[in-house]
Structure 1
């Protein structure tokens, strides 16, 4: 049996790379981690009540499509949140539950990526830096992952239209994250319009990772769903992914959804019915309650806005305010060196941007779009964040 598999090209995970980078370094002060984007939110009482009320249903197999209660709550949220007609986002045709967005972002390619496109191995394009599951999905389904630079010069959003014709002809799907992880960049209406026009011309689907859509600072992000409906009076070629890990601060619930084109949802649901995990019924009940409630989301967003304001007061012009999400993307010269120094001198654990990216030119580390950056997660309590950022300021 060969030791080589198609996943050999999968990069090591960013936190494994961070552990290796810091393994011989002792923290210089009491340790604080701003590396992991773990919201660590308080669990709302209505979530606990829903889980307790439906606990007996752990004894039954759940349905892949979710309960009627969940479907109605999810569809109503999508329509209300993104300003869509309620009769165009229907509970039975336009939404599907997921075990968190990572589950869906990985499995979604399998029913849609062909064996060949333009006579060659198909391409799945993604931003660079990127959420590692995008690459894992592309490689696992036999596609070639294409890492498209997301740089300051293009607003930290990949310019897919600038790719060569021979590359565009092979693209089967593109991932796009807005607000983006790690940069916090937000796609504009015109960006979405151009991307969908390209998708129409080049025959690919758009996988919009919008799990940070409810965490913003000045204005709510324009959703791919809103833009596509305004452009085409429908959702063709689009699947949009959303998560209660970020919206509700409940990553341990492992609950999300995908919404979009009814035909794509039907095909994805059929695939998941034989190859995907169901969301347990008590989790669906708690999730439905989360999709229906906005008060806890508003409170969470206010807390993130307070944390971002504190970061601005401490770091000043050393940082740039993101459009959304809960990360800072700090330019520091050499991200790995800075992360080692922050840990050794200040006891602050940061994630080097290079761990989330790939070199554009093989062997040239500075060609990695994340080389000059560190990602800073503003998810701890406000006091801890302020202490950590005051330490970081000392070495900026």
Structure 2
């Protein structure tokens, strides 16, 4: 939008596995496309993209000469199986993957990450980047080197999120709250019970001290869902579970 381009949004619907429906895009739109931006594992749904979807999109990028820009900030936060990366489909088309320490290492304030793509794109990015920002401070770069070279803390982080997820899911399932997506990231994407809107339901929980995100805050396709973030402590998640047990 900043470059004067038109932005076309594709809804992420549960019936499609919270994947954009590539077949619903008409030929003219594909021909006009410059960048297709995807985010998997996805915030807010917690859904992941299968490899065949990533390969199909990559092939379309080669056919219509656009770039697949894959935001993979949550790619190392998963519960059962590691998700696929768009890098696995890089031989099929034009793919750039963006990753960060913000989620895997809980280093949000460091604003440190990387882009993986073909050399031609990286060379162009290296020329562009100094015009719109500055290099990270030396202490950030040194801390980033340590974080990228250590996988033990990432495994511990996954286990902590898994325990908090289990605490909440035990109550939510007992209360009949349907879980949608939620196989990765630090979020639970849940069905709103009854006939109330997602905002009404979130407001009801807020009255009891629980802060959740109404699905409508993420766009029209999010209505009917609500998002819980697994970022509080384990003790706080247990308190939240107890409140849900009383309220639902």
Instruction: Kindly provide the CA deviation profile for residues 190-238 of structure 1, in whole angstroms up to 9, marking residues without a partner as x.
Output: 0101111111112110110100011001100111112324xx4xxx511
Structure 2 residues without counterparts, runs of 5 or longer: none
If the length of structure 2 is used for normalisation, what is the TM-score? 0.92
Distance 2:204 2:241 in 1: 14
1:330 equivalenced with 2:190 (yes/no): yes
- 1:56-77, Cα deviation, whole Å (9 max, x unpaired): xxxxxxxxxxxxxxxxxxxxxx
Match of 2:145 among 288, 292, 306: 288
Mapped to 2, the partners of 1:276 and 1:225 lie a distance apart of 26
| TM-score, with structure 1 as normaliser | 0.59
Equivalent position to 1:152, from 10, 14, 30: 14
| Aligned residue pair count | 242
Q: Is the 8 A contact 2:189 2:226 kept in 1?
A: yes
In structure 2, the residue matched to 1:301 is 158
2:139 match: secondary structure: helix
Alpha-carbon distance in structure 1 between the residues aligned to 2:3 and 2:205: 39
Say whether residues 1:219 and 2:49 are aligned partners: no
Corresponding residue of 2:71: 209
CA-CA distance at 1:393 after TM superposition: 4.2
Q: Deviations over 1:246-267 (max 9, x none)?
A: 0101112221111122111111
Distance 1:380 1:153, change over 3 A: same
Deviation per residue, 1:90-112 (Å, 9 max, x gap): xxxxxxxxxxxxxxxxxxxxxxx
Match of 2:233 among 361, 375, 381: 381
Structure with bigger RCO (C-alpha 8 Å, 6+ apart) = 1
3-state SS of 2:221 partner = coil
Q: Name the CA distance, whole Å, in 1 between partners of 2:85 and 2:137.
A: 28
Q: Is residue 58–residue 89 contact of structure 2 (8 Å, CA) maintained in 1?
A: no
Q: Which residue of 212, 221, 228 maps to 1:369?
A: 221
For residues 127 and 23 of structure 2, what CA distance do their matches in structure 1 show?
Answer: 32
- Measured on the aligned residues, the alpha-carbon RMSD in Å equals 1.5
Are the equivalent residues in 2 in contact too, given 1:179–1:186 (CA < 8 A)?
A: yes
How far the C-alpha of 1:394 sits from its partner, in A, is 3.8
Equivalent of 1:169, from 19, 23, 31?
A: 31
Q: 1:310 matched to which residue of 2?
A: 167
Q: Shift of the alpha carbon at 1:334?
A: 1.3
Separation of aligned partners in 1, 2:111 and 2:245: 35
After TM superposition, give the deviation of residue 275 of structure 1 in Å: 2.5
Q: Tell me, which stretches of 5 or more residues in structure 1 are unaligned?
A: 1-138, 358-367
Q: 1:274 deviation in Å? A: 2.5
| TM-aligned CA deviation for residue 168 of structure 1 | 1.8
Partner of 1:240: 97
